Structure 1
């Protein structure tokens, strides 16, 4: 893993739905988590200001801060890593954690090729983000995950209860943790 000793088991993805509770939630976690900062709804200047505030809050509690953007922007903003489709986060950097997104075998293969540190595989269950959209389900999720050459983080419709049902130790949520 690009210079990082351990990968959190729990990941919180930000967006406008959970923005009001992020500061409080980051303070409540008892163990280090990964925060994936997205906030696509904000204009660029406001997005940077909010990132800076949340990153400071997250780091006070020992959490990793990952930016959903280009690798260059993640480095400029001082993020611990970058999150996105494998093609958008390549080339990887030794000084940054890279979290690739994947929804199928092709994207897992791309994440393998670029040497991503982890892959978020989704959507496992139905989500509010994509109502009525296709989901992997537990069986297909596990079948795809076995081909990843890095840790797999389950995403999509996950809460503490559904993560227990899935029996997967690394998972992420937007609504399910906020």
Structure 2
């Protein structure tokens, strides 16, 4: 079945708020909130359709749109594909050209509004940044220094991968790191390889691929749950148990494993297209790789060195 193609815009204002509109009561799933957009007509690209729809619906002039996520959903009699773009460069004052209500809301407040189920991955993608830093513990004396470098780069999502530190050292570091992250408005996730990760105060947990495959449901009491994946089986299992986002790799050769088998951007894009979750590309990434990751359907990049070394 060929899916019905729809263009969707996550329109973000200069102060970081996101535009949502209310579906007409007479329409399918009427009375629920949605991100603006509409059906892609014949001979249109997804971006052309988005530009047209936002002008017709809200009188917005889109100057640039960046791919954010693609979501496929099977209704009883219809397969729909939502081609979602992040729109941060636009002009014009929002107007309700078709009589629909609209609101500007903070990203974290999106969860308070009733959306169609198919919109949930979009809400997650809209709340996540395009960079996910991994803080390694291979050089314990540099942990605090490297964390500060990451925060100074403006990174808002960080994984503490503290696999080799003794438990007491992990606890001490996290007790120092979490307040620093909160001060900078950054989220801190703890890698599940540490002993008793649930005892550490943080914003969430990042599951190793091994720990992921042992679970049959999402870990409880965690605001954010991420997972490392390398195969389609792992990706599908992560989606099944309800993780929020995924790190997939290695995409490109790395300095530490130059001869290891890599996915490449083509295979990365193919795997991303099989699930409805935000996915970060890992392996051989630099900050400039964000564009390639987005073009391949990813949320952005995840890296270790890219955020503590100068390009």
Out of 31, 38, 54, the residue aligned to residue 177 of structure 2 is: 54
Residue 174 of structure 1: aligned partner: 304
The residue number in structure 2 matching 1:44 is 167
Kindly provide the CA deviation profile for residues 112-164 of structure 1, in whole angstroms up to 9, marking residues without a partner as x.
11111001111111113433111111000000011122111111111112333
How many residues are aligned here?
Answer: 177
Report the aligned-residue RMSD.
2.7
* Runs of 5+ unmatched residues, structure 2: 1-119
Between the two structures, name the one with larger relative contact order (CA 8 Å, sep ≥ 6).
1
Q: Where does residue 103 of structure 1 map in the other structure?
A: 230
User: Does 1:148 pair with 2:275?
Assistant: yes
TM-score by length of 1: 0.85
Higher strand share: 2
Greater radius of gyration (CA): 2
Contact 1:83–1:100 (Cα < 8 Å) also in 2: yes
Note if contact 1:124-1:135 (Cα within 8 Å) is conserved in structure 2: yes
* Corresponding residue for residue 152 of structure 2: 28
Q: TM-score, normalised by structure 2?
A: 0.51
The whole-number CA distance in structure 2 between the counterparts of 1:10 and 1:88 is: 27
**1:38-89 deviations in whole A, cap 9, x for unaligned?**
1212111112211221222111101001000179934321121111222356
1:72 and 1:122 mapped to 2: Cα distance? 25
Compared with structure 1, are the counterparts of its residues 46 and 88 closer, same or farther at alpha carbon in structure 2 (3 Å cutoff)? farther
- State how far apart, in whole Å, the 2-side matches of 1:114 and 1:107 are: 11
Which aligned pairs between 1:63-102 and structure 2 lie closer than 5 A? 63-69=186-192, 73-84=196-207, 85=209, 86-87=212-213, 91-92=217-218, 93=220, 95-102=222-229
How far apart are residue 28 of structure 1 and its match? Answer: 1.0
**Paired position in structure 1 for 2:76:** none
